[in-house]
Amino acid sequence: MRAVLCDMDGTLVDSEKLWDVAMDALYDRLGGVLRPEVRAATVGGCAENTMRIVYDDLGLPLDPAAMADSAHWLHDYTAGLFDTGLPWCDGARELLDGLAAAAMPVALVTNTPRALAERALDTIGRHYFAAVVCGDEVDRGKPAPDPYLRAAQLLELDPRWCLAVEDSPTGAAAAEAAGCAVLVAPNAIPVPGGPRRRQVASLAGLAPADLHDIYTDLATPIPTPTPTPHERERACLPADTP
C-alpha cells in the first residue's frame, strides 16, 4: 500500500444529513417532495447524475441550463449548511492523524465541486492531504473511475497500489473500477459487497497498520514485467560490457 484515497461526504465528515436538508429544500423549490428512495439513489453521485435523477423524478424537461442552475442553487445552499460546522464521522479524524504520523500519502477524492469542498476543508484541515480531486475537475464523476484515476496520477502511483476509503455504492464502484482495493464504512445506505471490498461498521479504532492488512488481503498483485530477450541477455553480461 503506497497511499490512501479518501472520499469526503459520509466517509470523513457526516455531511450526508446536511445534503438531506439541501435536497429537501431543492425539491421544495422545484415544487415536489423528495422520496427516500430517490434520495438514496443520489447519495455519493456527481452533480450531473443527481440533477438527471431529480428532473426525471419530477417529470421536468431535461434542460441542461435549468439543471445546471438547480445544481448551482443546491451547492450554494449546502455551502451555507457546511459553514455551520461539519461533524466528523466516527474514527475519521483519528485515522487521518495516524496516517499523517506514519507519513502515508492521503488524497481526498470527492464528487463535491471544488468551491464547496474548499469550505469543507476549512473544517477537515488541508494539511492531511497530498492531493485533492473534486467532481468538477474530471470529465466524469463517480461512479466513473475518473476521480480515483486522477488522484493516483497526482500522487504518481498506480491505482492498484492504493486503498480507497468509501461509504456509498457510487463511490465504491468508482474506486473499484479504477483498480483500487476498497475499504467501505457505510453511512447513509447499504453498500453491496465484492471481492475487492472490505466492510467495517465505522472507521473507529482503525490504525494505518489495519489499513495495510486490509489492502494486503484485497489487492490484486501487480505482475513484474517479463524481460525481453535483449534484457535477459544484457543481465547475463558483465557489468562493464559496453
Name the residues annotated as catalytic.
7, 9
Copy the grid coordinates of residue 19.
445534503
Copy the grid coordinates of residue 148.
480515483
Q: Burial of 88 by CB count in 10 Å (0-12 exposed, 13-18 middle, 19+ buried)?
A: middle
Distance CA 40, CA 55 (A): 15
Strands (E) across 146-212 are located at 162-166, 181-184, 197-199
Distance CA 153, CA 151 (A): 5
> How many secondary structure helices (H) and strands (E) does the chain include?
10, 6
Of the candidates 117, 109, 181, 89, the residue with the CA atom closest to the CA atom of residue 150: 109
**What secondary structure does DSSP assign to 31-71, as a single string?**
T----HHHHHHHTT--HHHHHHHHHHHHT----HHHHHHHH
Copy the grid coordinates of residue 147.
476521480
Is-contact 114 134, C-beta < 8 A?
A: yes
Of the candidates 123, 125, 133, 120, the residue with the CA atom closest to the CA atom of residue 164: 133
